[in-house]
Structure 1
Amino acid sequence: MTSVPSPVGTTEYIPHPHLMMKAARWTGAQSIVLEEVAKPTITAPKDAVVRITHCTICGSDLHMYSGAMNSAMCKGDIMGHEAIGIVDEIGTEVEKIKVGDRVVILPVIPCGDCEYCKREEYSLCDVTNPSKELQNMWGHRLSGILGYSHLTGGYPGDQAEYCRVPSADLTCLVVPSDMPAKALLAMCDVLPTAWHGCELAEVREGDVVGVWGCGAVGLIIQRLAMFRGASHVYAVDPDLHRLAIAKSFGMIPIEPNKDGKSSEEQILTLEPRGLDRAIEASGFRSTCSTAHTIMRKIGLEADSSDTVSSAIQATRKCGNVALIGDFFFSTNDFPIGMLMEKTITLRGGQLMAQKYYPYLLNLVLEEKFDPSFIFTVEGKYFFDIPVTQI
């Protein structure tokens, strides 16, 4: 019988006697507060408790911070799903990691036994997310995800001094003790998410690729596309600083609406045949048109299809479009006719991180790819920062 991890909420932690810790807690839209809470402990035999040494913020945390997911949050929820640390405790059925191991904590929580996990489609796990709301919204549930609202199970996150990690043998990845923390932090989520985007788009040698978004994930997707043999990579972003970073890595920068021309118009001028693969990595907050900006402001849509529409139009007939920017709700004016008639394959989904290891770990260890470039400033240890609100 599968041992199902329990998605306990922050207030349901079973603490060690008199032992507290600091954690970044959601207290409402645009309010994340550093507070003391009870330290977590083992609640299921496949759990581990990890002492967090380094953590960082994901772009998808902004969905909760901005208030876009208020209905799926509870005051006091612990944020975060990108962290590394040292194993502090393990449950009785944990076999692959031991106390004292240095580990990367992956965001997605798989059971390992359902049909999706057996196919290595871990983010679609049938077991680890009890959310009835998500079931009603989509007809099915995703896997549980650490620190990412009650739609994905209500698991407390790892922007904390300690984190209870369910399904620890699958959710924790043992890594070398001397490996740079920046590289490991990038491997928690950003690197496997970027690789997943290239996999969904089926980026191959010789392809012409376009990537909408030059944030951390978008920049790594662009460099991975080149690593996989793409002949040209177009980087689309309205932020000129981000475009300059992409250009410094050899990408072709595209600023939407420059000289009155949309991103797809600019790309098709340079590539009349169109892109072989297009990847949307900017997320559901991205709007380019006045119509979608207004619809989002007045609540007629929660996601915007502006960037997706641009990607579809810029992609050649029989090309591929991948969505990695974490769309969650609904949109209007989606170009379904253009998608169908151009015979374009459209795919999306959360990262299947466990599937891509140990390949990605070896890639970094062998110095074939270094994802740590996304961290440009050496920061102080998170819990030494004397602030009450971040």
Structure 2
Amino acid sequence: MPELKKPVLTTAYKPHPTEKMKAAVWTGTKSIELGVVPKPTITAPKDAIVAVTHCTICGSDLHMYSGDLNEVMEKGMIMGHEAIGIVEDIGREVKHLAIGDRVIILPIIACGSCFYCKRKEFSLCDKTNPSKELEKMYGHRLSGIFGYSMITGGYPGDQAEYCRVPNADLTCVKAPKNIPAKKLVGLCDVTPTAWHGNELAEVGEGDVVGVWGCGAVGLSIQRLAKLRGASKVYAVDKDEHRLNIAKSFGMIPVNVKEHDSPADYILSVEPHGLDRGIEASGFRSTNSVAHSTMRALGVEGDSSDTAAAVIKATRKGGNVALIGDFFFNTNNFPIGMLMEKAITLRGGQLYAQKYFPELLNMVVEGKYDPSFMFTHEDDFENISKNYDAFFHHKVPGGLKVCLATAFGRSQK
């Protein structure tokens, strides 16, 4: 894994000198504490301050929690990139939001005017991330992201009672006040990420699709694949409870524990192969002794176990999408199989802004309900124990928790 040096925080953030708020702050490996920190204020004319009503913990937050990104974290950094709330204040150049609006805060912070934003590839934005370290690693910078380490801009996250939202007209989506909170929190990140996976894989009518991973994102990919017309969706995981959830939604479960090679099993029942394969299990997922050992020894940062299985199970000329948030390097990647089978491989963080208002309209019209992913509800003040439960796969119901702030609870 490449050595990462802590960059200098250059993101504009000037807290109010007297007002305070509660926030989930990173204090070290497996340590997220509910801290009392300065409340943010407007620092740029396109900013908005949002009073958070509900938020949740993302699987990718566990990269920071587990210690995988310690080198690029700052003690006291506010976590989180999935929240909704009410606009409390706006900068003088905010045109499409008003105080009192209910909004979804999207995770991607984009400028809206650079080469990539004009192509609606918002997570590739050139202007919102000052990290030189990321540019050195990848050759380019990516967009800023809320609460997601210094190499994505060092932006304070929205697992907090208030959040400063840069470029708020683009980063916030106005939402109806009569839609249940869990539906809207599900639209912050998981649903657009799942839609992005389907877009990258080009899932369409009649396709046979395989999705590795049955967490909230994987299950959402599966359900949206069906909504887009997929004829069959194979759900691959090692967690029996999650596989049963997938089965209840009409997917075909494939239990990794029951098959030495899930790819070979899929090919035994689908000799033609999958039309579209999607990896949504994450870079911490290892299924072989070789990759577990290499991860433990630090000679690779990610594992290609699941990516290799997806590529093998996908038909010649098919499409593979990587959504599992790979970050570093991996060994034994099947580059020959990928090339010789003429498979198109794509990945990347979600183009969140691109998929709205379409996704919101789907929910408002009753065509899709993302609230299924929240199998537990709790108070925001209990976020520390919920991080521990999420990390150890002990969230009641097995998926995600929806956390309500004191302000959110007062809105009922």
Q: Does 1:347 align with 2:360?
A: no
Q: Distance in 1 between matches of 2:10 and 2:172?
A: 19
Alignment check: 8 A CA contact 1:54 1:84 kept:
yes
Post-superposition offset of 1:333: 0.3
Q: Does 1:334 align with 2:323?
A: no
Post-superposition offset of 1:39: 0.2
Partner of 1:264: 263
Alignment check: 8 A CA contact 2:9 2:150 kept:
no
1:314-347 CA-to-partner distances (Å, cap 9, x unmatched) read 0000000000110011000000000000000000
The 3-state SS of whatever aligns with 2:253 is strand
Q: Distance in 2 between matches of 1:56 and 1:152?
A: 19
Q: Distance in 1 between matches of 2:262 and 2:108?
A: 33
- Structure 2 residue runs of 5 or longer lacking an equivalent are 1-7, 389-412
Partner of 1:72: 72
Spell out the pairing of 1:157-236 with structure 2 (5 A cutoff): 157-236=157-236
Post-superposition offset of 1:261: 2.6
Partner of 2:380: 382
Q: Distance in 1 between matches of 2:47 and 2:274?
A: 45
Partner of 2:102: 102
Moved over 4 A (4+): 6-9, 384-390
Q: Distance in 2 between matches of 1:143 and 1:234?
A: 32
Alignment check: 8 A CA contact 1:8 1:155 kept:
no
Partner of 1:361: 360
Partner of 1:141: 141
Q: Distance in 1 between matches of 2:311 and 2:386?
A: 44
The 3-state SS of whatever aligns with 2:306 is helix
Aligned pair in 2 of structure 1 residues 384, 99: CA closer, same or farther (>3 Å)? farther
Aligned length: 381
Q: Distance in 1 between matches of 2:383 and 2:370?
A: 25
Partner of 2:241: 241
The 3-state SS of whatever aligns with 2:24 is strand
Partner of 2:282: 283
Q: Distance in 2 between matches of 1:182 and 1:365?
A: 13
The 3-state SS of whatever aligns with 1:97 is coil
What's the Cα RMSD here? 1.7
The 3-state SS of whatever aligns with 1:126 is coil
Alignment check: 8 A CA contact 1:47 1:164 kept:
yes
Q: Does 1:51 align with 2:51?
A: yes
> Could you tell me the percent identity over the aligned residues?
69
Post-superposition offset of 1:17: 3.8
Q: Distance in 2 between matches of 1:389 and 1:24?
A: 10
Partner of 1:3: none
Alignment check: 8 A CA contact 1:33 1:388 kept:
no
Post-superposition offset of 1:220: 0.6
- Structure 1 residue runs of 5 or longer lacking an equivalent are 1-5
- TM-score w.r.t. the length of structure 1 is 0.95
Q: Distance in 1 between matches of 2:182 and 2:350?
A: 20
The 3-state SS of whatever aligns with 1:92 is coil
Q: Distance in 2 between matches of 1:291 and 1:261?
A: 15
Aligned residue identity for 1:341: E
Post-superposition offset of 1:114: 0.3
Partner of 2:254: 254
Q: Distance in 1 between matches of 2:18 and 2:150?
A: 28
Post-superposition offset of 1:257: 4.2
Alignment check: 8 A CA contact 2:124 2:141 kept:
yes
Alignment check: 8 A CA contact 1:257 1:263 kept:
no
Post-superposition offset of 1:113: 0.6
